[in-house]
């Protein structure tokens, strides 16, 4: 799912590897932190598949730091200030849209959910809701399984193991409640936004109508 995260970030602006990694880790918060050993091969693979291509980075107009002029030699091995920026190709945009509109089990498993959630701003409302609900079911299933396994164990465990299990269960329960809140919010929004249809408008900049918080 690293690939999806990359495509999602590049859909907002072209970026080079170093910056991409920083944003990636910021995007996923304190959860995951992809390393270069993962990122660069993934970029290569995406280029090979024609989903992204190299490009010039934005001049970063906010600060005065302009991109350096190509004064003199540029040892092609690794360019002398060798920024290699990437941007989506049309195929990449298309592929990203396909992925973002999918909501199968692959979207709500542990290793994918946070990436998909981080890209919710680019995901349509219906898919958001389906992913949240699928994730919720997945977690409650696991809750059930762990509780059952613990009950079936006739060996009595020491207090530390029990505390670890209790803590783990509590974490998952809290996650479920978090999802409940998100699902409620999404349903409310869907009700407020839509009376008869209107499934699209994924770009629509956030409706500042905060009056009904």
41 exposure class (CB count in 10 Å sphere: 0-12, 13-18, 19+): exposed
Binding status of residue 149 toward a copy of itself by CB under 8 A:
yes
Report CA torsion sign: 130, 136, 139, 144: negative
- Is 182 a binding residue for a copy of itself by CB under 8 A? The answer is yes
By the rule CB under 7 A, 107 interacts with DNA: no
What, of a copy of itself, DNA, none, does residue 118 touch, CB below 5 to 8 Å by kind?
a copy of itself
Residue 163 partner contact from a copy of itself, DNA, none using kind-dependent CB cut-offs of 5 to 8 Å: a copy of itself
Picking from 175, 150, 155, the residue whose alpha carbon sits closest to that of residue 165 is: 150
Q: Note whether 37 binds DNA by CB under 7 A.
A: yes
9 near DNA (CB under 7 A): no
Least distance (Å) from DNA to the CB of residue 156? 19
Among candidate residues 88, 87, 115, 86, the one with its CA nearest the CA of residue 102: 115
Is 105 a binding residue for DNA by CB under 7 A? The answer is no
Please answer whether residues 102 and 12 qualify as being in contact, where contact means their C-beta atoms are separated by less than 8 angstroms. no
1 touching a copy of itself, by CB under 8 A:
no
- Stretch of 41-49, 154-162, 192-200, 203-211 contacting DNA, by CB under 7 A: 41-49
Q: How many other C-beta atoms can be found within 10 angstroms of the C-beta atom of residue 30?
A: 6
Distance, CA of 98 to CA of 93 (rounded, Å): 9
CB 131 within 8 A of CB 116: yes
Using CB under 8 A as the criterion, which residues of the chain lie in contact with a copy of itself when the complex forms?
Answer: 26-31, 62, 114, 117-121, 142-143, 146, 149-150, 153-154, 157-161, 163-165, 167-169, 171-172, 174, 178, 182, 206
Using CB under 7 A as the criterion, which residues of the chain lie in contact with DNA when the complex forms?
Answer: 1-2, 16-19, 32-38, 40-44, 68, 75, 77-78, 80-85, 111
């Amino acid at each position: 799912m690293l690939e999806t995260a990359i495509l999602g970030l590049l859909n907002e602006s072209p970026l080079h590897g170093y910056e991409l990694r920083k944003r990636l880790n910021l995007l996923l918060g304190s959860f995951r932190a992809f390393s270069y050993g993962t990122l660069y091969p993934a970029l290569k693979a995406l280029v090979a598949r024609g989903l992204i291509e190299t490009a010039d980075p934005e001049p970063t107009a906010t600060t005065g730091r302009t991109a350096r002029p190509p004064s003199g030699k540029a040892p092609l091995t690794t360019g002398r200030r060798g920024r290699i920026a990437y941007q989506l190709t049309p195929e990449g945009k298309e592929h990203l849209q396909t992925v973002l509109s999918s909501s199968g089990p692959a979207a709500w498993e542990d290793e994918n959910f946070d990436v998909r959630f981080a890209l919710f701003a680019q995901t349509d409302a219906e898919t958001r809701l389906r992913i949240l609900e699928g994730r919720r079911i997945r977690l409650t299933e696991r809750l059930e399984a762990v509780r059952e396994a613990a009950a079936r164990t006739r060996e009595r465990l020491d207090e530390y193991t029990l505390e670890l299990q209790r803590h783990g269960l509590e974490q998952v329960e809290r996650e479920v409640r978090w999802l409940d809140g998100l699902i409620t919010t999404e349903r409310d929004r869907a009700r407020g936004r839509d009376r008869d249809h209107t499934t699209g408008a994924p770009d629509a900049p956030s409706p500042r109508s905060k009056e009904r918080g």
